Amino acid sequence: MSDVIVLTGLQADSRYQYQAGWFVHANPSQPLGTLQEPPLQWPQAIYCLRTLPRARDAAYAYIVGSCRYLRLTAGIPRAPERGDRTFAGIQRIVDQADPPIRGLLMTGDQVYLDDLNIVAPDRTYKDILFKYRTVFSQPHIGKLMSGVPTYMILDDHEIEDNWPANKQLNDEILYANAMSAYQLYQASHSPAHELSSAGTLSRPLQQYWYTLAHGDIEWFVTDSRTERNLSPDDRRILDARQERSLLQWLVNSTARVKFIVTSVLFYPDSKRNDGDAWQAFPQQRLRLLESIRQHRIQNVIFVSGDVHGSMTSRLGHSEDADFEVHTIVSSPFFNSELLPYATASDFIFESPMVRSEKGDYRYELTSPVIGQDNFAHLQVTAQSVRVTFHDCDGRPLEVVEIPLR
């Protein structure tokens, strides 16, 4: 019961109403050519969407977040309304936002297939689909996603904790089931598919990473989970093709602001290096930073989640005063009582992130580390990216201005 409909010919910056209905035929074995259209009983709900503005310099705003925990016990969701409360809080911001919210970026762990990893992780296709249906059918997230463009990328819990480092010999079926469900429920929201000449989605899906262009703002949403190479000879968090595409995009894009989404932290580094974030792939991270610095690319902002804590941070270079990148970390939408929140003491701030012959890369916090359920509201203006972290009810917690050059 999941599909994608491609709409063409819509007008820019316009509001559209739509309804969605379906029917199930009593005899699915009957040939399609002999089916008679049954009377449709349309649901009462009328939904609204707004298309993007045409002007390149239009104002844009986004919601960013990650990590929505939902435990199923014996097939019954445990207090699902607690996690759905955050999406009600996001809806309050959407209803009042000026400029309008142009996208909801979910940067990983939208589901936890391994919520009871030791006892009974979801492994069968039936169980995985049930988890997705339960997560996305909660009332507030359903209402939010019906009216706001939603872009997603996976992290490890869409498969299992710290995938693929923890991969076992019998996990091939798990991976196939998890990624099939991911394509249905998450990749389908995103422009990872190309359109065929007939205006339909091309299949099969060639990759999970993709780009977005909204006026003079562009996003590169990386897949930092399924293309990893853990070999010590060529250790990568992105495969060679994705790295090359990312570098080409950075150099060739004329966008004023460039957001790079990576589900795990680009920085800051953790004192407990578990080998899962960019910290464990230092050569590839340095190649990316050196390309940004040498090509003098401005207004690059990394966006991530994963760590169950939110913050902003600035990265500079000891010998190059013009180099500057920022990171926005937003996590979690809803935490498990079994998992801790991040604190500033979890990260390394005393020493350089990278020492090289060309100089040292050093970062500093530009906000407190927020240790509670939250999400981020990004407003891109001519002078800055304003980041407002909100609690689960939509109340502001912290406001940070990231200056643009």
With vertex at residue 157, the alpha carbon angle to CA 375 and CA 61, rounded to the nearest 5 degrees, is 25
Only one residue has tokens 């209402």, namely 143
Nearest to 112 by CA among 135, 89, 90: 135
Is 9 within the bounds of a domain? no
Query: Would 296 be classed as within a structural domain?
Result: yes
Three-state secondary-structure class, residue 320: strand
- 291: domain CATH number is 3.60.21.70
Question: In the predicted model, is pLDDT for residue 118 greater than 60?
Answer: no
In a domain, 35, yes or no: no
Nearest to 342 by CA among 367, 325, 316: 367
Number of separate domains in the chain: 1
- Percent of the residues in the chain that have a pLDDT greater than 70, as a whole number: 95
Residue 387, in any domain of the structure: yes
pLDDT value at residue 176: 95
- The answer to whether residue 47 sits within a structural domain is no
pLDDT in tens, 63-102: 999 999 998 877 888 899 999 999 999 999 999 999 999 9
Tell me whether residue 17 is in a domain.
no
Least reliable range by pLDDT among 70-79, 178-187, 324-333, 370-379: 70-79
Residues 6+ apart with CB under 8 A from 368: 311, 344, 398
Tell which residue, 257, 242, 270, 265, has the closest CA to residue 212: 257
* Domain that residue 388 falls in: 58-403
Does residue 25 lie within any of the structural domains? Answer: no
User: Judging by beta carbons within 10 Å of its beta carbon (0-12, 13-18, 19+), is residue 308 exposed, middle or buried?
Assistant: buried
CA angle 38, 39, 45 (to 5 degrees): 125
Q: What is the 3-state secondary structure (H, E, C) of 33-90?
A: HHCCCCCCCCCCCCEEEECCCCCCCCCEEEEEECCECCCEECCEECCHHHHHHHHHHH
**Does residue 293 fall inside a structural domain?**
yes
CA distance 119 to 303: 33
73 contacts: CB under 8 Å, gap ≥ 6: 116
